[in-house]
Amino acid sequence: MSSDSVTDSENPPDPAAELPWGQLAFRTSAARLGQLPADQGVEIALAGRSNAGKSSVLNRLASQRGLARTSKTPGRTQLLNVFEMPGGERVIDLPGYGFARVPDAVRDAWRRLIGSYLEQRASLAGLVIIMDIRHPLKEGDVELIDWCNGAGLPVHILLNKADKLKRGPARSQLLGVARELEQTGASASLQLFSALSGDGLADARAVIAELMAER
């Protein structure tokens, strides 16, 4: 992996292991687990706070500008959005979290939905958490990492919006987050990413391919 990535693995993902991202297509939305596709095959989930740019990250991963709808109203997505590749590999876009204006009842419902999904979904190979590089490891982010670590579920962090910082400060932020994770005993690989410019795209795709291949 590049110098803009930090991994807890001695064997970095193979960049040549590619998935057909260009053929990723929206399949369905689910308000509850029973509405998801059959729990078989393999999938990864994307999670992140409501202002982290999760939809833009998914669009960049798929090289499809309009695949996931972006909204100027953070917290709008309240469903599990399912995207699928021709081979059956799935990407599950989880509802955003951490938006202050969302009513408590809605926030609690999201938490239960996400928690149930992470706990019960047997085909889930790993969680990719998108964070704004300027505001990493906020409430919700840490909770998800801790839960996944306890469940033995791999976590990869994309420090998105790296284009908002110069290269030196961005690299310092990456290393700072890595140190904080190490100090707290949390386990996650992480990298710089920019949905705007595409920086970090190859590394992110390689990590996701590796997670799916290991399932």
pLDDT for the residue numbered 18: 83
Where in the chain does DSSP place strands (E)? Answer: 5-6, 25-30, 43-48, 80-84, 90-93, 124-132, 155-160, 189-192
| Mean pLDDT in residue range 54-76 | 82
pLDDT for the residue numbered 15: 46
Retrieve residue 17's tokens.
């292991």
The yes-or-no verdict on residue 140 having pLDDT over 90 is: no
Show me where the domains of the chain are located.
5-214
pLDDT for the residue numbered 17: 59
Closest CA to 116 of 139, 142, 145, 94: 94
pLDDT for the residue numbered 111: 82
Q: How confident is the model at residue 9 (pLDDT cuts 50, 70, 90)?
A: very low
Q: Is CATH 3.30.1360.200 the right assignment for the domain spanning 5-214?
A: no
The yes-or-no verdict on residue 91 having pLDDT over 70 is: yes
pLDDT for the residue numbered 98: 77
pLDDT in tens, 118-138: 999 999 999 999 999 999 999
Helix, coil or strand: residue 114: helix
Closest CA to 144 of 103, 82, 95: 95
pLDDT for the residue numbered 16: 44
pLDDT for the residue numbered 154: 98
- Percent of the chain scoring above 70 in pLDDT: 88
pLDDT for the residue numbered 50: 85
**Could you tell me the pTM of the whole model?**
0.90
